[in-house]
Amino acid sequence: MCYHRLYIFSTCGHSLYSPTPLLLCKDSAIPPDSTSSATCTPHAHPFQSLRIHRLCALCDRRRSVLLAEVDHNRTIRFDAWRWKVAYQNPAAEKEAWKRWGEQGDVRERVRRREESKGRVEGDVKVAW
């Protein structure tokens, strides 16, 4: 019954013993080519237990793979011909500003529209 340091990962709930014992028991015989005894079971003392507030390495790797897969699936991909647009000529836009005020009064446009429909024959009242 050798005492080892116990690492508890609080995010995923996994735990892990340290590879080398803190205190060897009298029954343990550690061979020179190994770090632990085959006859002894590891135990942890509450003062030698450490809580780590993160994922263990296995869960962190699994989480990274899943997030990469989700990110890959959520990426929007377009064909090249779909996102290329033709922009309007800026010179034509400049000419439009020069003719901006030439369309006439609003009342005149409304009167012409009503006359073309055949509704009004005289002056038109516009309520704003």
The 10s digit of each residue's pLDDT in 6-55 is: 999 999 999 998 888 887 777 666 665 665 566 677 778 888 889 999 99
Token pair of 21 as six digits? 């014992």
The dihedral over CA atoms of 57, 58, 59, 60, expressed in degrees to the nearest 10, equals 40
Residue 75 confidence (pLDDT) = 72
Q: Is residue 115 pLDDT above 70, yes or no?
A: yes
For residues 20 and 18, give the distance between their C-alpha atoms in angstroms, rounded to a whole number: 6
Q: Taking residues 77-87, what's their average pLDDT?
A: 69
For residues 110 and 117, give the distance between their C-alpha atoms in angstroms, rounded to a whole number: 11
Residue 34 confidence (pLDDT) = 63
Q: Is residue 57 pLDDT above 70, yes or no?
A: yes
- Say how far residue 45 (Cα) sits from the centre of its chain: 41
Residue 112 confidence (pLDDT) = 79
For residue 51, report the phi and psi dihedrals to the nearest 5 degrees.
-95, 125
Q: Is residue 74 pLDDT above 70, yes or no?
A: yes
For the chain, give every domain's residue range. Answer: 2-57
For residues 127 and 115, give the distance between their C-alpha atoms in angstroms, rounded to a whole number: 18
Q: Taking residues 76-84, what's their average pLDDT?
A: 69
Q: Is residue 97 pLDDT above 80, yes or no?
A: no
Total Cβ atoms within 10 A of residue 21:
21
For residue 93, report the phi and psi dihedrals to the nearest 5 degrees.
-65, -40
